[in-house]
Every structure is written in C-alpha cells, then in structure tokens.
Chains A and B, each alone.
Chain A
Amino acid sequence: MSHRRSVSGAKDSTTRHQARPLGGVAARACGGLATFVVGCTGAADVPAVPDLSGLEESYEAPSAEIGDAPAVQAALGSVPELQELAAAFRAAGALIDPIDDARETAGETSGAGIRVQGTIQIQVRCPGSGSTPVYDAATNGTFTLRLAVQNNTIRGSFGADAEHCLASTRLGETQLPIELDGRIEMDLGGDIRFGQPWTRSHTLFSLDGSITVGAATFRNVSARLEPDRFEFLQETARGSVVLFVSDSGIGLRDQTGTWLCDVDAGTCAIL
C-alpha cells in the first residue's frame, strides 16, 4: 500500500504538547435526542473495512538505514513541524472518542446466543478552533466515521470522512487551530468486542487529504498514535524512517535501531 505524503508550512513552536481532548466530543448520548426509523428486515450490511496492515508493517520495520547522527538530524529536520503534527493528530484522535458510546449502545443489542452485525455511523460535529467548543456543523465542519459491526464486535479498522473539520490543540502554552479535510482510514490495532472493557492504546492513521495545524499543512500523510508516543512515517532517499515524539524526546527509528535526539543541543544518540 502506498502512502503519499507532503509537508508544507512553517514551524511554530518546539514545546512538547499535551493533547487536549476535544471538549464535549465524548459527551454521553444519553441526554440527547434519539430518533427512530423502521428498518427493513434481513441481515444488515457490513461495510468493507480498510486494510492498513501494509502501513502498519512499514511503521514496524522502516526500510532505511540512516547510520549516523547528522543523517538522523537531517531526517528529523525534513519535518520541522513534527511536534505540531503530533499535537494535531492527538486532537484528531480525540474525534473518535464517541466510538466508546457507540460500543456501549450497540453492545446492548447483543447477548448470549445473539449475533449482531451491521453499520454504525458516527457524525462528530467538530468543536471549532475557539477556546469554547461550538458544535455547529455548518461553521466548524464534521468528522464522520463508518464502523463495521460483525460477530458482536466493532471492527478496529474503519474509514472516516472529514469535511472542513475545525478543532484546536495545545502545544505548550500555545493553542493551535486545526483543520482536517479528506478521507482518513484508521486502525485501532484490534477489534472492539461488545460487553467488554475497551481502552484505546493505538491508532494508525492514513490520511488522503490534508491536516492543517497552525500555519503548517500536511497532505496525504500517515501517523501512528500511542498514549505516550506519536510516530510519523517519512520517506528519505535511503528508504523510510519513523520519526517520533515521545515523553523521552524526539527521535527516529530506522532499520538498525532507535535514535533519540536533544533538539536544543542538536545531538542524537542511538539507543
């Protein structure tokens, strides 16, 4: 599977960020309004799910062999907005929080001896880039997920469509506006079974569109998000490397190992 990427824009801040959950996105549906539609009978269709295994493999085993610290620094320098990108994807990751609500709701249709299948579509009204969320789809756009339900599980791989979805994220003390647009395929690393606890620990993104954070716009990129780590697959002349932002710092993984860099000192060391 090929993943086109391009990066443009200017670096705005180097402060490590803390992801800000998109306020209210995870609000429970219980207080909301549910409408009712009579469905026709027959087994509900299960939508096809994207296969991101190739991309996952690329993250697990980058192909390039960088070899020395200057080359590592050069590779990191090719994405100067890495921390902004990390902040943006963490904010985007929060957009899929309602999956947990859907899991609870759909889970109530299942039970012993019952098989559930079909589709769950979640339309998130994006909160906007202001300090107070404004859930107005016309103003701030939408983020729509289409989940496949099969054998009492929500498939961990799914697609979503962002339409001028505006949100914000925080990088240090700076609040940055984000705009997400296009088709995004995601993989949570495993299926979500009804009736069982679920904690999101891993999200792989493949964006066929753009994500703008601050003044930087990234097009057709992928990313892998874990609770304490953001990874970004970058092509170099020698092959692919994985750039990362973690609690330990910024670094790079290549075919031979993991490099951790001190941004201020401008040094990198292999672990």
Chain B
Amino acid sequence: MSAPTLTTDTRPDPSAPGSALTQRRSRPGEVAFRLAMQACLVIAFGVLAALLAWVLVKGWNRLDSRLWTEMPTGLVSRLDGAGVQSALVGTLWIISLVAVICLPIGILSAIYLEEYADNTRWYNRLLELNIQNLAGVPSIIFGILGLGIIARTLGLGFTIITAAIVLSLLVLPVVIIASREAIRAVPQSIRQASYALGASKWQTVYRQVLPSAVPGIATGSILALSRAIGEAAPLIVLGAVTFITFNPDGLDSRYTALPIQIYTFITRSQAEYTELAAGAIVLLLAIVLAMNSIAIFVRNRFEKRW
C-alpha cells in the first residue's frame, strides 16, 4: 500500500464557481436560534419591566418620606399619614442579625469543607450532600422548624432573634456554596508556593487563600442576604405582627418586616392599602437593588485576575 500523499488537488479550486469567500449561504438554523434567544430575553425583561412599572404607577403617590417616617395603621381614615417605618426598621434589624449570625458560620464552614475536609471520608461527603439539599428546601419548612424548635422548644418566642436565626439557617447553604466556589477559584499554585516556603496550613489559608477569595465570598454573601430580605413565608409562621406602631428595640422585641407588611396591606380590599403596599414594594426593591449593586461593585473592584 502506498503512503498517502497530500497534494494540492485536495484543495478547493479558488477559481471554481461557488467558492468565492464573499458568497454567503443562508444558515436558517443559526438565525432561528438567535431569534429564540432574543425572544427569551425579551420575555424575561418584559415581565420584570411590567411588574416594576405597575408598582411604580400604583405607588407613585406614596413614594415620599412618609414611607419611612410614619408608622403603619389599621385604620383607613388615618392611612393618609401612614408609612411602613416599623417594618423597615424590623427588616434592617433582621438583616443585620442575619449577617452577624450567618456569615461567620457560613464562611468558616466553607473553609473547612474546601481546605480541611478529607472528601474521601463518608461523613464529609454526607455533609456536602446535605448542604446542597438544604439549599433547595422550601423556606416555609424552615419557618415551621423555627417555630417548633427555636420559638417553642428553646423558648425564644416570636421575637426578632428567632426570625434572624431562622433566616440565617435559610440562607446558610447559599453562603456556604458561594464561599466554596470562591475558595476553589484560588489557584492551587498559590497554595503550593505558600507551603513550599514553610507556611503552615492555617497561614496559607488565612494569608493567601482568604484574601484572594474575599471578593467572591462578599458577592455571594450579599446576594444571599438580599434573598433573606425578601423572604415572607417563614416569618408568617414566626409571628411577624401585621401592624405594630413601634420599632423593635432589642433582640427579644416583637417585630414586623417589609414583606409581611406588604402582604397584609395587599390582602386588604381598600385601594389606599394597595397604594401603600406598592410604595413599600418600591422601597424593598430599592434596598435589594442597592445590595446587589454593592455586590457587583465589590466583584468588579477586587476580583483577582490570574
């Protein structure tokens, strides 16, 4: 058998008809796929924009300082001078507490799982599996668990600390998963360089891995917190009071929160309540948007390029 030869006659003849580079065949598949993707984008953005427009129009008359300077009321006659201050303060309390409880636990867990845990051991693999599953548990389940264990068995009652603990548990898996991703993204070569200089495990983690992972951890954590802000379901069973006319003043204080307040306003039939609810929705969206902006800023500003 003769050896295969590569000769020029396998090349297309540039002078043959139909071989000009400028000639363009239409590619129907290509066009259809691009149109489909654009349609999806339009649907997603369209629905969001419609929702936003609806709440802005509805709540336009209530978008002023009354929202955060005045207390909610149960009396329609007093609605003109009402706001959602107690709910706003309750939400800020809860979210601060969630950050304090959830971030250290979540980040340290992620460090353990990524840097220390021997994932050939069955108990570490079980832990990982459970964390993934916990991220998918409906929030109302966390609320019921919190009601049974934290509010009743531990006796913390329907207080702001109970709400904060339950919401912390709810977003903990998200914080852990996001932090693990950030830690895993730090190149192995950095760890090796540190070990080769005689650094210990903790020195390597603390002085090399964590500083490089902080932008990713911060981004994931902020997004997790903004999810916690919007949660209403667990708070419903945890006794978030529908109308309170005082701000929380301690961990054992009764409370309400923005999503709960919106829910109770909107279930009332009077149009004035719907209007106030729309105003509160805009306020809640503004807080979430601000937090997400911070997350994006942190990511862009401090992200490491390797």
State yes or no: do A and B come from one complex.
no
